[in-house]
């Protein structure tokens, strides 16, 4: 491993980094198991032509905090495949990836869905390893819970948005919402927010953005997305640059695309009153501080977008059961968990004078550290060292 890879390790993890390859298919991939003090490693599996080990490690750490924040007993982990998800040999690459990780899956890690993978891909993991517990996000026909089809993550983002609005004295009824990213998360968030009375005024994809101050036709955009993918915005109407969704006049901003999208410039210029992080890691520590000093409320990613892992935990608990998971039960659990967590984090932020991220990290870190202590995973050290970990 390179020195830069070793720099990823700290007091929390990772516990294991497994880099794999397959000569026949050209598959190259990585699994990062960050911290399993609270349970088996669980996190999505992504496929991207620009994937890096550092990227997967960052996401695995986010999963550690996400599981702890929702107080569900799994550990942080993430996997990734370097490649084009639209390539001609995707199934062969997925099968090779699963085979090379047969020692870790499902004993130490359970596959899930992230960028570039679908429910059909989860079925490939199951078939290759012959274990229903190898992956979450399975198609309904295999007894799974189809996350993307149900939109559980985006639904949770919308629930967190309403909880934050209520906590902060902001009315979501008639509030203007801009959503950066219109994949599974952005679509589901837009649909649910519309049902809660908000008006979605802007949406972006990698192909551009569309904006209408009077509100977009979400049903039309969803239909176009199914037919044309990211080009849905081009078919909808006049197209702005993709970054425009971060700059339009809106009360609520939802970054639901990739990491590192809200930089210091955006943080200093946005007129949103509320930012709800639908994507993982869309803000930086400095941009969060700027937003906090401007009085803009931010619901952290591992609080707001935890709907998917709540659903995953629900389906994992029933993975060897003959009974099919009921979506209505999952939506109720997501709403209850995310609304309560959002309110708790924002209340602690206000009372302790912390940014919402600082309050959320403190909550999650304490839970992980408590488990590490009980499992004798913390070095015999002074109180000062333990305080640094917290």
Q: Taking 90 as the threshold, does the pLDDT of residue 262 lie above it? A: yes
pLDDT of residue 318: 58
pLDDT band at 386 (very low <50, low <70, confident <90, very high): very low
pTM of the model: 0.84
Q: Which residues does 104 contact at the CB level (< 8 Å), separation at least 6?
A: 16, 18, 31, 33
Q: How confident is the model at residue 248 (pLDDT cuts 50, 70, 90)?
A: very high
pLDDT for 387 equals 44
User: CA 282, CA 274: separation in Å to the nearest integer?
Assistant: 14
Distance of CA 33 to the CA centre of its chain: 16
* CATH of segment(s) 152-304: 3.40.50.720
- Of the given ranges (19-23, 275-279, 386-390), which has the lowest mean pLDDT? 386-390
- Give the model's pLDDT for residue 320: 52
Region 266-291 average pLDDT: 96
Which residue pairs, CB below 8 angstroms and at least 24 apart, start in 368-376?
368/12, 368/35, 368/37, 368/38, 368/64, 368/65, 368/68, 371/37, 371/38, 372/35, 372/37, 375/37
pLDDT-derived band at 381 (thresholds 50, 70, 90) equals: low
Task: Outline which parts of the chain fall under CATH 3.40.50.720.
Answer: 152-304
Retrieve residue 385's tokens: 């060292």
CA distances to 123, 179, 266, 267, 302 from 154, rounded to whole Å, are 23, 11, 23, 23, 13
78 in catalytic set: yes
Conformation bin of residue 215: beta by default, left when phi > 0, alpha when psi is -120 to 50? left
Residue spans in the chain of domains classed CATH 3.40.50.10860: 3-62+78-144
Mean predicted confidence (pLDDT) in 40-48: 95
Stretch among 188-192, 205-209, 328-332 having the lowest mean pLDDT:
328-332
385: confidence class by pLDDT, cuts 50, 70, 90: very low
Give the confidence band of 383 by pLDDT, cuts at 50, 70, 90: very low
- Please state, for a pLDDT cut of 90, what percent of the chain lies above it: 82
Q: Topology of domain 3-62+78-144, per CATH?
A: Rossmann fold (3.40.50)
Q: How confident is the model at residue 141 (pLDDT cuts 50, 70, 90)?
A: confident
Mean of pLDDT values over 123-150: 87
From the list 78, 90, 273, 337, the catalytic residue is 78
Query: What pLDDT is recorded for position 3?
Result: 63
């Amino acid at each position: 491993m390179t020195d830069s890879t070793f720099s990823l390790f700290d007091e929390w993890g990772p516990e294991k980094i497994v880099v794999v390859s397959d000569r026949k298919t050209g598959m190259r991939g990585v699994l990062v198991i960050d911290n399993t003090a609270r349970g088996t490693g669980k996190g999505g599996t992504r496929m991207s032509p620009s994937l890096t080990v550092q990227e997967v490690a960052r996401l695995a750490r986010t999963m550690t905090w996400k599981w702890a924040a929702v107080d569900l007993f799994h550990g942080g982990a993430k996997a990734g495949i370097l490649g084009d998800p639209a390539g001609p040999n995707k199934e062969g690459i997925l099968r090779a990836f699963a085979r090379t990780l047969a020692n870790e899956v499902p004993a130490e890690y359970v596959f899930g869905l992230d960028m570039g993978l679908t429910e059909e891909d989860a079925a490939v993991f199951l078939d290759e390893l012959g274990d229903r517990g190898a992956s979450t996000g399975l198609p309904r026909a295999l007894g799974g819970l189809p996350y993307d089809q149900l939109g559980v993550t985006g639904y949770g983002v919308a629930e967190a948005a309403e909880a934050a609005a209520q906590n902060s004295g902001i009315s979501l009824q008639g509030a203007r919402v801009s959503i950066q990213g219109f994949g599974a998360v952005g679509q589901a968030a837009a649909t649910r927010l519309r049902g809660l009375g908000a008006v979605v005024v802007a949406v972006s994809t990698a192909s551009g953005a569309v904006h209408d101050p009077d509100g977009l036709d979400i049903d039309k955009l969803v239909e176009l997305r199914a037919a044309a993918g990211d080009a849905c915005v081009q078919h909808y109407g006049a197209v702005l640059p993709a970054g425009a969704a971060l700059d339009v006049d809106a009360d609520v901003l939802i970054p639901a695309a990739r990491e590192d999208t809200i930089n210091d410039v955006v943080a200093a210029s946005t007129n949103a009153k509320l930012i709800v992080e639908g994507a993982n890691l869309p803000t930086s520590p400095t941009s969060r501080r700027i937003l906090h000093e401007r009085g803009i409320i931010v619901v952290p990613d591992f609080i707001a977008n935890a709907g998917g892992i709540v659903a995953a935990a629900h389906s994992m608990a029933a993975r060897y059961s003959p009974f099919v998971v009921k979506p209505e039960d999952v939506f109720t659990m997501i709403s209850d968990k995310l609304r309560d967590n959002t309110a708790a984090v924002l209340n602690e932020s206000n009372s302790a004078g912390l940014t919402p991220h600082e309050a959320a990290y403190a909550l999650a870190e304490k839970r992980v550290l408590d488990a590490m202590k009980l499992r004798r995973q913390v070095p015999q050290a002074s109180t000062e060292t333990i305080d640094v970990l917290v």
